[in-house]
Amino acid sequence: MILDMGPMLRGEVDTLDVDYTIQPEPCAGVEFTAEAHVVGKVTDTGGYMRLVLEADMPYKTICARCLDDVIGTYTVCFERTVAEERSLTQEQIDENVDEYIIVRDGKLDIDEQLVEEMILSFPTKFLCDEDCPGLCPKCGKQLKHGACGCNTKEIDPRLAVLAKLLEESDD
């Protein structure tokens, strides 16, 4: 979205409201079920302009432990100081790339930095429940539905020879 900052730069308004939708960038293993809804505002307090946005991204993916579907909405908070292009040097912009969003020719393009923030902050793994026990490593049954009955006692392979000797001595 490109905001016309002219009224704010001329001092005619102190606040510009932002409310629109944007398509999130595809992520591996995640299906975005709708466009992200972005809400926020640009405020001017005595020449100090600040952009504050929240983007709600509805998604569907699978649990990293038990492979069940996980459906939810992830919220990204995005804040930047708004500065006119001529008010900062290129060195200041380069050193503080995550601090500023630049007004160029009276326009503020928020999509590029917002999409980047959405990609970088989106989790790589989701769980259906914080206490999800996952799958049985032997049979693959979902352990949240109950125990599977597999033998969980593992013999250290380095001691397997001794266990075999003990079995032979019992015979």
Whether 51 and 108 map to the same domain: the answer is: yes
Whether 72 and 137 map to the same domain: the answer is: no
Whether 30 and 88 map to the same domain: the answer is: yes
Whether 43 and 121 map to the same domain: the answer is: yes
Whether 127 and 138 map to the same domain: the answer is: no
Asked whether residue 23 carries a pLDDT value surpassing 80, the answer given is yes
Whether 64 and 118 map to the same domain: the answer is: yes
Closest CA to 23 of 72, 71, 59: 59
Of 99, 115, 131, which marks where a domain is finished?
Answer: 131
Whether 120 and 138 map to the same domain: the answer is: no
Report the number of distinct structural domains present in the chain. 2
Phi-psi region of 64 (alpha: psi -120 to 50; beta: other; left: phi over 0): alpha
Whether 126 and 138 map to the same domain: the answer is: no
Asked whether residue 6 carries a pLDDT value surpassing 70, the answer given is yes
Whether 95 and 156 map to the same domain: the answer is: no
Task: Report d(CA 118, CA 76) in Å as an integer.
Answer: 6
Whether 103 and 51 map to the same domain: the answer is: yes
Provide the pLDDT for residue 101. 87
Domain that holds residue 55: 2-131
Q: What is the pLDDT of residues 121-134, one digit of tens each?
A: 999 899 999 999 99
Q: What is the widest separation between alpha-carbon atoms in the chain?
A: 96
Q: Is 108 exposed, middle or buried (0-12, 13-18, 19+ CB in 10 A)?
A: buried
Whether 107 and 160 map to the same domain: the answer is: no
- Give the pLDDT mean for 137-148: 86
Whether 18 and 42 map to the same domain: the answer is: yes
